[in-house]
Amino acid sequence: MLMHESGEMPAREYVIFEQDVKMIEYRTNLDGILPDNLKGFFVGWRNPLSCSQLHTLLRSSSHFVLAYDTETHRVVGLVNALSDGINFAFVPMLEVLPDYQRRGIGSELMRRILRLLNHISCIDLTCDPSVQGFYRRFGMVESHGMVIRNHLKVT
């Protein structure tokens, strides 16, 4: 892992996936990323975000990491965090496009976002029980919480 002298991760770093010769670039900025580069996410979501909404969401996040396929010029994975910068952070979303899943991209995105948040003592996320094992690999523990999901309210 290359680090700046300041101890921060560089804005871009490349990883080559030899099994299918794809070059994945990990980014922590939106330079050159337009909403059209964010197509295909939110598979199975009841109310998926538009590409424009996702672009705004990333721009508004405290931190994010993108996995960018340099051959297809599209974002193929992303993770974001919202934080007060001192004690609390929430990781609301980790998404990898279906064609890029099971290649380690989600794991690498989690490692990178957790490195960006390493000074934060309380990092939370909510997930389905079926993926809790994935997050345990990063030192996360099961917790209980409450949420509001306005899109699920019956009118």
Domains of the chain, earliest start first: 12-140+148-152 (3.40.630.30)
- Rounded (5°) CA angle 104-111-1: 95
- What pTM, to 2 d.p., does this model score? 0.84
| 58 contacts 78 by C-beta, under 8 angstroms | yes
123, 89 Cβ separation under 8 angstroms: yes
The candidate with the shortest Cα–Cα distance to 38, out of 89, 78, 91, is: 78
Closest to 97 measured CA to CA, from 45, 43, 59: 43
Q: Is the pLDDT of residue 141 over 70?
A: yes
Contacts 24+ apart (CB under 8 A), 121-124: 121/87, 122/87, 122/88, 122/89, 123/81, 123/88, 123/89, 123/90, 123/91, 124/88, 124/89, 124/90, 124/91
pLDDT the model gives residue 14: 54
Closest Cα partner for 40 from 98, 101, 93, 80? 98
**Which tens digits make up the pLDDT trace of 113-125?**
999 999 999 999 9
Q: What is the mean pLDDT of the chain?
A: 88
* 120, burial (CB in 10 Å: exposed 0-12, middle 13-18, buried 19+): buried
Residues above pLDDT 70, as percent of the chain:
85
Question: Which pLDDT value is given to residue 3?
Answer: 41
